[in-house]
């Protein structure tokens, strides 16, 4: 189940750019960055003092899409046997300018994590 949640460091980055939505879990730093499974409200009062919300990957990507109009697309190229990701700015008609292409990942999960990191970087730069 833990692989469904974004990693702790990425969760901290999401918190720093304003992610504050109800989640099914949280990172409890006092217990060695373990994931606690309890519904956490987004008012920060229900979060552990030494931790942060632990959004699911799908929840994080939905948040970027709804809040910033940024969407990620991941596909597999059989001829090269690698995963490839693109970031789209759906509020401004498509691909980012310059294009945000993320290429040559061995697994879908690597490409997904790279897209999430790139989305955070884009938002931080705004």
Is 87 within 8 Å of 122 (Cβ atoms)?
yes
- State the pLDDT at residue 21: 87
- State the pLDDT at residue 116: 95
- State the pLDDT at residue 66: 95
pLDDT digits (tens, 9 = 90+) for 61-110: 999 999 999 999 898 988 878 998 888 888 877 766 555 677 789 999 99
Query: Would you say residue 27 has pLDDT above 90?
Result: no
Fold classification of 61-125 is Double Stranded RNA Binding Domain (3.30.160)
Residues of the chain with CATH 3.30.160: 61-125
Query: Would you say residue 112 has pLDDT above 90?
Result: yes
- State the pLDDT at residue 84: 87
For the chain, where are the E strands, in sequence order?
23-28, 34-40, 51-53, 70-77, 82-89, 94-105
- State the pLDDT confidence band at 41, using cuts at 50, 70 and 90: low
Residue 33, classified by CB atoms within 10 Å of its CB into exposed (0-12), middle (13-18) or buried (19+), is middle
């Amino acid at each position: 189940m833990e692989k469904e949640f974004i990693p702790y460091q990425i969760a901290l980055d999401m918190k720093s750019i304003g992610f504050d939505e109800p989640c099914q879990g949280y990172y409890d730093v006092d217990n060695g960055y373990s994931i606690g499974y309890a519904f956490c409200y987004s008012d920060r009062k229900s979060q552990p003092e030494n931790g942060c919300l632990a959004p699911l990957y799908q929840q994080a990507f939905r948040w970027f899409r709804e809040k910033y109009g940024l969407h990620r697309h991941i596909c597999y190229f059989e001829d090269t046997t690698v995963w490839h990701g693109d970031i789209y700015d759906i509020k401004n008609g498509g691909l980012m300018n310059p294009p945000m292409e993320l290429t040559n990942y061995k697994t879908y999960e690597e490409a997904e994590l790279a897209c999430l990191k790139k989305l955070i970087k884009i938002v931080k730069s705004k």
